[in-house]
């Protein structure tokens, strides 16, 4: 009984709305999602695991997508894994054969973006690796974070580059009056925020610094955070048993196996 990982790639997850209103808004309550992938395992069935728990199995060897129920968890990124198994093992859980999840906690930074930032602005995130001194020689992010990933977020007319976004539809996706941080941007186009999540970090206290770059590579001064404590989640117990109970003191002794 084995799992096969070779030849499985391009795993993608798409949230499925429960309903779409005429105006385009949607309800997302059930947490259903479509998981798709590519696989060269032509004679195997495929199983999808979410955070190490079995979420579903395909019914034939050609199936390359599966609808699963996503767990509600906001503390860290959800781990989605797709593996192949022999048809005879389709209903046998192989969770104990999966690679252990990466240890460490994550930090989510909320970055305020103002309409005064140019259309090609990007951000780099640096950290001190729990040393107390931020190292600005190498960013923590693999690629620069785009400040304006959608052109309609940025006001083009009369700001930055003329017509940088769709003419007549400038700031179509920007945060409006009374949202974001009041009066940080142009009146009626208040500054909004974007988020960046770090890779897993070990136990410790970390400081982060963010620098913004324009399209020509000019870099701003750093904006630094206060120390942030990172506490990785505890490893779940593999087994739990009662070893003793003292009725006089009402004391229970447990044996926890990890």
Residue range 122-166, pLDDT digits in tens = 999 999 999 999 999 999 998 899 888 776 666 544 443 444 444
pLDDT confidence of residue 1: 54
| Averaged pLDDT for residues 212-217 | 88
CATH of the domain at 78: 2.60.40
Beta-strand ranges (E) seen in the chain are 8-15, 19-20, 26-27, 32-39, 45-50, 53-57, 65-69, 80-85, 108-113, 122-127, 145-146, 181-186, 189-197, 204-206, 208-213, 223-224, 228-230, 239-246, 251-257
Whether this prediction's pTM lies above 0.75 is answered by no
Which residue segment(s) compose the domain that 175 sits in?
108-230
d(CA 26, CA 29): 10
User: Domain tally for the chain?
Assistant: 2
Instruction: Answer whether residue 197 is part of any domain.
Output: yes
Whether residues 122 and 226 fall in one domain: yes
**pLDDT for the residue numbered 179:** 44
Q: Could you tell me if 83 and 127 lie in one domain?
A: no
Mean pLDDT of 114-124: 84
More confident residue, 243 or 170: 243
Assess whether 164 and 141 both reside in one domain: yes
Distance CA 36, CA 65 (A): 4
**250 lies in some domain:** no
Which DSSP symbol is given to 189?
E
Mean pLDDT of the chain: 79
């Amino acid at each position: 009984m084995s799992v096969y990982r070779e030849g499985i790639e391009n795993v993608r997850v798409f949230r499925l709305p429960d309903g779409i209103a005429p105006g385009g808004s949607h309800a997302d309550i059930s947490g259903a999602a479509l998981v798709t992938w590519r696989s060269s395992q032509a004679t195997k069935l495929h199983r999808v695991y979410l955070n190490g728990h079995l979420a579903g199995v395909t019914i034939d060897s050609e199936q390359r997508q599966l609808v699963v129920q996503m767990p509600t968890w906001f503390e860290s990124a959800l781990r989605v894994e797709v593996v192949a198994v022999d048809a005879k093992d389709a209903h046998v859980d192989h969770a104990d054969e999966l690679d252990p999840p990466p240890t460490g906690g994550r930090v989510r930074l909320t970055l305020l973006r103002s309409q005064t930032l140019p259309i090609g602005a990007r951000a780099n995130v640096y950290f001190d690796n729990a040393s107390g001194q931020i190292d600005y020689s190498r960013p923590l992010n693999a690629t620069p974070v785009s400040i304006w990933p959608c052109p309609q977020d940025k006001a083009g007319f009369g700001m930055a580059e003329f017509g940088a976004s769709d003419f007549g539809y400038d700031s179509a996706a920007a945060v409006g009056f009374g949202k974001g941080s009041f009066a940080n941007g142009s009146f009626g186009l208040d500054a909004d925020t974007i988020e960046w999540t770090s890779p897993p970090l070990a136990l410790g206290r970390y400081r982060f610094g963010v620098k913004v770059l324009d399209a020509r590579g000019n870099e701003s001064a750093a904006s630094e955070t206060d120390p942030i404590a990172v506490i990785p989640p505890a490893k779940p117990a593999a087994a739990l048993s009662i070893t003793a109970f003292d009725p006089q003191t009402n004391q229970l002794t447990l044996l926890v196996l990890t």
